[in-house]
């Protein structure tokens, strides 16, 4: 989730906001594997699916992406803008299974935690597999 995107749109206009979205999408796609999926959910929110990725790898990737977004300022009409982003990561231990809804809900909770803790950070929630939750 790009932090303070509404402010960016209000301050610099929707065409610049669109450029910010394109910039973020290109950065995300350019820093993920071909086996990963990058999708825009709407507004300033993106979803990355990282199959066969351990929790620490996912956390490290999210941190790298966060740093790269912040480290590539965009020129504005009155200077430069450094983007910040909040990341929510849902992790499922190897071999575990979870529904899409469970993974999405956990990632959304982690994102909420990142945003409510000051933004521009990565938070992770580890899920129990469906089999474990049914025991």
Residue range 37-68, pLDDT digits in tens: 999 999 999 999 999 999 999 999 999 999 99
Q: Is residue 135 part of a domain?
A: no
Q: Which domain holds residue 65?
A: 5-128
Q: What is the CATH number of the domain that holds 34?
A: 3.30.70.270
Cα–Cα distance between 60 and 13 in angstroms, integer?
33
Cβ(84)–Cβ(120) under 8 Å?
yes
Q: Is residue 10 part of a domain?
A: yes
| pTM score | 0.90
3-state secondary structure of 83: coil
Whose CA is closest to 74, among 9, 3, 23, 2? 23
Query: Catalytic site residue 70?
Result: no
pLDDT tens for residues 25-34?
999 999 999 9
Domains in the chain, number:
1
Q: Is residue 40 part of a domain?
A: yes
Q: Is residue 133 part of a domain?
A: no
Which residue out of 44, 70, 123, 132 is catalytically annotated? 44
Q: Is residue 134 part of a domain?
A: no
Q: Is residue 57 part of a domain?
A: yes
């Amino acid at each position: 989730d790009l932090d303070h995107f509404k402010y960016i749109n209000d301050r610099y206009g929707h065409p610049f906001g669109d450029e910010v979205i394109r910039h973020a999408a290109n950065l995300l796609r350019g820093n993920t594997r071909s086996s990963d999926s990058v999708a825009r959910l709407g507004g300033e929110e993106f979803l990355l699916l990282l199959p066969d990725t351990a929790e620490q790898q996912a956390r490290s990737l999210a941190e790298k992406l966060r740093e790269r977004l912040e480290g590539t300022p965009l020129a504005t009409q009155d200077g430069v803008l450094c983007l910040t982003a909040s990341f929510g990561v849902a992790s499922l231990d190897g071999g575990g299974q979870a529904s899409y809804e469970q993974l999405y809900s956990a990632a959304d909770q982690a994102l909420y935690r990142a945003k409510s803790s000051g933004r521009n950070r990565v938070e992770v929630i580890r899920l129990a597999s469906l089999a474990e939750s049914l025991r």
